[in-house]
Copies of this chain bind each other. A is one copy, B any other.
Amino acid sequence: MRADYINPFISSLINTFETMLGCTLSRGQLYLKTGETQLHDVSGIIGLSGQAQGIVVLSLDRNVALRATSTLLMCETTEMSSDVVDAVGELTNMVAGGAKAQLHEYELSISLPGVIKGEGHEVCFPSDVTPICVPFTCEWGKLKIEVGLAEVRTLASTNATPALAAV
């Protein structure tokens, strides 16, 4: 899989935060996730399928999640309530939707978002998929995105099962 598939997710995330939240993101150095790395306090996760299969994880510091929710709802939010779950899910949905539009050659469709809570949680990918991680900072704190994507054509040609696909 071409490593530049990450670019649409990066631009979609930056664009979503800028337009929906009026929040400018500063991008850190991207890296391949080769071992275990803990995520931030709350993470949205969404599945992608079509001519490629993948997962997108958008992970936010508690403060970023609270401030993003407050901005979206135009109402101060100080607890990790169902409003925060909906806001994080919706932001993940927008990021995945924006990237999907740019990756039209893969004819991607996206699942419902799930939102993961729990101290020190992490999302692991199948060992034959190497996700790309990109950290960001903003005035509210830290966030990052992890994306693993495998072309279905690659899977078919290697006769691997979808879950064990090589990128």
A residues apposed to B, CB below 8 Å:
36, 38, 45-50, 53-55, 57, 82, 85-86, 89-90, 92-93, 109-127, 129, 148-150, 161-165
- Complex contacts, A163 vs chain B, CB 8 Å: 86, 89-90, 92-93, 112-113
A49 to chain B, nearest CB (A): 4
Is there an interface contact between A150 and B112, defined as CB atoms closer than 8 Å? yes
- Complex contacts, A90 vs chain B, CB 8 Å: 126, 161, 163-164
Is there an interface contact between A55 and B119, defined as CB atoms closer than 8 Å? no
Given contacts A85-B126, A117-B122, A118-B118, A112 and B46 within 8 Å (CB-CB): no
CA distance A110 to B112 in the complex (A): 12
- Complex contacts, A116 vs chain B, CB 8 Å: 116, 121-124
Report the 3 A-B pairs with minimum CB-CB distance, sorted nearest first: A47-B47, A47-B111, A118-B121
Q: How many copies of this chain are found per oligomer?
A: 2
Given contacts A93-B161, A127-B82, A122 and B112 within 8 Å (CB-CB): no
Residue of B nearest to A149 (CB): B112
- Complex contacts, A129 vs chain B, CB 8 Å: 112
Is there an interface contact between A111 and B57, defined as CB atoms closer than 8 Å? no
- Complex contacts, A117 vs chain B, CB 8 Å: 36, 121-122, 124
A124 to chain B, nearest CB (A): 4
- Complex contacts, A49 vs chain B, CB 8 Å: 47, 49, 109-111
